[in-house]
Chain A
Amino acid sequence: QSALTQPRSVSGSPGQSVTISCTGASSDVGGYNYVSWYQQYPGKAPKLMIYDVSKRPSGVPDRFSGSKSGSTASLTISGLQAEDEADYYCCSYAGEYTWVFGGGTKLTVL
């Protein structure tokens, strides 16, 4: 299966909001409400930030939110903080017990 499409980079100033898109197909993002988002710092393992499209695990700030429209999922980070600068990856269940990741987006806090 092909990787989900994410912008290579996004940026924003502290306090602003940014949105990262994740575009797939009807066979993955569009077909299931099992999209998750991960934050990854350099040299570290990914950390779950959003699951089931829009649910936040305990301990994740409510500045992080997720949504989906058709075959495109989105992660929005509001009230940007310096510590949010990281790589972000989306992941979707793709049917037949397979999963697919996005290409990753580097978030820069200006």
Chain B
Amino acid sequence: QVQLVQSGAEMKKPGASVKISCRTSGYTFAHYTIHWVRQAPGQKLEWMGWLNAGNLNTKFSQNFKGRVTFTRDTSASTVSMELSSLTSGDTAMYYCAREGGYNIDYWGQGTLVTVSS
């Protein structure tokens, strides 16, 4: 079965960076795109961007352009997301999710990132 397992919760200081990993299984890694979505406490889902695990193409939401980087490790079927220049406004649950034909289908369990001085 398709599974996406994310790394554990992170606590960071303002100005720092955070890197979250998303280990996938149950499907052919290079055939799918992984999206990143975040959700601030009590708030809505916010689309951040995607990485095509096969050809390394990426697309970022304008809200995060210049601050977010996506990488992949094919040998580990893992995609990672790094967000820099953190502020308290970046405190949120971050999700990776697989795209199946223009629809986001399977989701990771989420990684809580807390930004506080």
Which among B10-18, B44-52, B71-79, B82-90 touches the partner chain?
Answer: B44-52
Given A45-B95, A46-B95, residue A98 in contact with residue B47 (CB < 8 A): yes
Closest to A53 in B: B103
Closest to B45 in A: A101
Q: Assess whether A86 is interfacial by the CB under 8 Å rule.
A: no
Nearest-neighbor residue (CB-CB) of A32 within chain B: B102
- Chain B interface size, as a band, is 20 to 34
Bound together, the chains give a CA A99 to CA B101 distance in angstroms of 12
Question: Is B61 interfacial (CB 8 A cutoff)?
Answer: yes
Name the interface residues of B72-114: CB closer than 8 Å to any CB of A: 95, 97, 100-110
Q: Does A89 contact B (CB under 8 A)?
A: yes
Quick one: given A48-B103, A52-B103, A93-B102, are A101 and B109 in contact (CB under 8 Å)? Answer: no
- Interface assignment of B37: CB less than 8 Å from any CB of chain A: yes
Q: Which of B45, B100, B102 contacts A46 (CB 8 A)?
A: B45
Whether a CB of chain B sits under 8 angstroms from the CB of A103 is: yes
Contact partner of A102 among B44, B59, B61, CB < 8 A?
B44
Which residues does chain A contribute within 8 Å of B102, judged by CB atoms? 32, 34, 52, 93
Using CB atoms, name the residue of chain A closest to B107: A45
